[in-house]
């Protein structure tokens, strides 16, 4: 990346301020000496930076620490109410939104129905949700993070392919930003969930992990060497379109035998109907399986085998420390997990399961919306290395 301001004192100051903010974000209630030690900055530099951040309302003196023989240190922390961000989870039918403070605490919720699958209708629904959330932001909303299914070019703000809509190369970030007069960051919805897990959930302090989501579709997000991995054009993690059944059922992507076409909710409903001779929902099929219906149980066991093999191959290729299973499909994970674990054990290369942990995350739409807010929060704590791009940042913000 070319940095036009290389060597500029103002840029160095921004980078140092970002270091201090990021350090307080990771661990609040630190003394100035703690911050200097943890960031490698000098004591006088930290003192000057924290004074500026306190004056701008971003940092506050919270408490007094234990004395080591002299004056007790003053402990600093971020001021969560210095700014707010909107997070939107876009589904086939709704724009589900939350407003969070700088600590990702949800302070307000709103959602709006989609009247049609067109970009204009989506922009309208998201705009309605933002307007409903705005009063709780007290005039300090810094931007919007949007998570949606599909291949999203995050840097360009373009939806290359939308999972639930017939879109190609749609410049959605630009249209949204014009409509709500705020910076907008869009990403794949699973990446949004990964951002939340990495910052505040089961992926915190884990250098290498994968989030695998099951339900209406199948998705995957990755953190590799401590960084969210998106691929060259935002398409990394399309586990749902790994081919697992030769000549298998047709997938919505146009291919055949995709994992999503075999274990996604529509596939499970079709399999249950074929075994039971009548239409049931996935949850109804789960209830029948728990009540002893072996035909329904076999459907979930088969799904578990396919998922276990697919995740096993992810482990073989990437060797993560942790796998997080999430999404609405986890409601029936008790029926899937035995076959999943057996298939995982059979697939993973000898030794690669050592230290591997499997976590199941509680599912709700708010968690995904909070994840979308996390995408933007992560950007806020970075210096603006590209002044030609209008990216949101806390540097230079006055909280008032």
Pair of tokens at residue 206? 């884990």
Structure tokens at 336: 């899937």
Other beta carbons within 10 Å of 205? 7
Q: Look up residue 203 and give its DSSP letter.
A: T
Our answer to whether residue 4 is catalytic in this structure is: no
**Residue tagged 């290498």 (tokens):** 208
Q: Are 133 and 97 in contact (CB under 8 A)?
A: yes
Tokens in use for 144?
């919007």
Query: How many residues are listed for the chain in this entry?
Result: 400
Q: Which two tokens stand for residue 220?
A: 């995957």
d(CA 37, CA 109): 39
Look at the block and give the residue holding tokens 């309208």: 124
Query: How far apart are the C-alpha atoms of 377 and 85, rounded to whole Å?
Result: 7
Contact 273, 321 (CB under 8 A): no
What's the farthest any 2 CA atoms get from each other in the chain?
A: 79
Q: Which residues pair with 63 in a beta bridge?
A: 75
Options 189, 265, 293, 388, the catalytic residue: 189
Contact indicator for 119, 94 with CB cutoff of 8 Å: no
Q: Which DSSP state fits 58?
A: S
Tokens linked to 193: 């969930």
| Nearest partner of 237 among 255, 224, 250, judged by Cα | 224
Q: Cα–Cα distance between 260 and 215 in angstroms, integer?
A: 9
Residue whose tokens read 């909107």: 86
Q: Say which residues have a Cβ less than 8 Å from residue 265's Cβ, sequence separation at least 6.
A: 215, 216, 282, 328, 329
C-alpha dihedral, 175 to 176 to 182 to 184, nearest 10°: -100
Edge-to-edge strand ranges of the sheet holding 184-188: 106-113, 94-101, 84-90, 141-148, 184-188
In sequence order, the β-bridge partners of residue 100 are 85, 106
Q: Where is 209: in which H helix or E strand?
A: strand 209-214
Active site residues: 189
């Amino acid at each position: 990346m070319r940095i036009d301001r290389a060597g500029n004192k103002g840029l160095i100051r921004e980078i140092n301020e970002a270091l201090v903010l990021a350090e307080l974000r990771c661990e609040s209630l630190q003394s100035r000496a703690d911050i200097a030690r943890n960031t490698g900055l000098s004591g006088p530099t930290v003192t000057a930076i924290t004074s500026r951040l306190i004056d701008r309302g971003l940092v506050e003196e919270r408490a007094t620490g234990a004395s080591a023989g002299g004056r007790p240190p003053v402990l600093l922390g971020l001021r969560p109410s210095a700014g707010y961000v909107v997070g939107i989870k876009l589904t086939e039918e709704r724009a589900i939104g939350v407003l969070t403070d700088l600590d990702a605490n949800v302070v307000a919720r709103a959602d709006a129905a989609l009247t049609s699958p067109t970009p204009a209708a989506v922009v309208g629904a998201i705009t309605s949700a933002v307007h409903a959330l705005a009063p709780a932001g007290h005039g300090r909303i810094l931007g919007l993070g949007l998570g949606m299914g599909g291949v999203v070019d995050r840097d360009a703000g373009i939806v290359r392919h939308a999972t639930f809509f017939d879109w190609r190369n749609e410049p959605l970030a630009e249209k949204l930003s014009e409509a709500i007069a705020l910076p907008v960051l869009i990403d794949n919805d699973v990446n949004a969930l990964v951002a939340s897990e990495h910052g505040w959930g089961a992926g915190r302090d884990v250098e290498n992990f994968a989030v695998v989501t099951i339900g209406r579709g199948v998705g995957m997000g990755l953190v590799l060497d401590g960084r969210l991995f998106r691929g060259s054009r935002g398409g990394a993690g399309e586990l749902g379109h790994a081919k697992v059944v030769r000549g298998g059922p047709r997938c919505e992507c146009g291919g055949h035998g995709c994992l999503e076409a075999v274990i996604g909710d529509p596939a499970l409903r079709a399999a249950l109907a074929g075994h039971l001779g009548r239409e049931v929902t996935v949850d109804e099929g789960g209830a029948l399986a728990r009540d002893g219906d072996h035909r329904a149980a076999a459907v979930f066991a088969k799904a578990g085998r396919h998922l276990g093999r697919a995740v096993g191959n992810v482990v073989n290729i990437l060797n993560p420390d942790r796998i997080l299973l999430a999404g609405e499909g986890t409601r029936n994970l008790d029926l899937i997990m035995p076959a999943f674990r057996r298939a995982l054990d059979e697939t993973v290369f000898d030794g690669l399961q050592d230290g591997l942990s499997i976590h199941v995350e509680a599912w709700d739409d708010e968690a995904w919306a909070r994840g979308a807010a996390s995408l933007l929060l992560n950007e806020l704590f970075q210096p603006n290395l590209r002044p030609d791009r209008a990216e949101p940042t806390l540097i230079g913000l006055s909280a008032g």
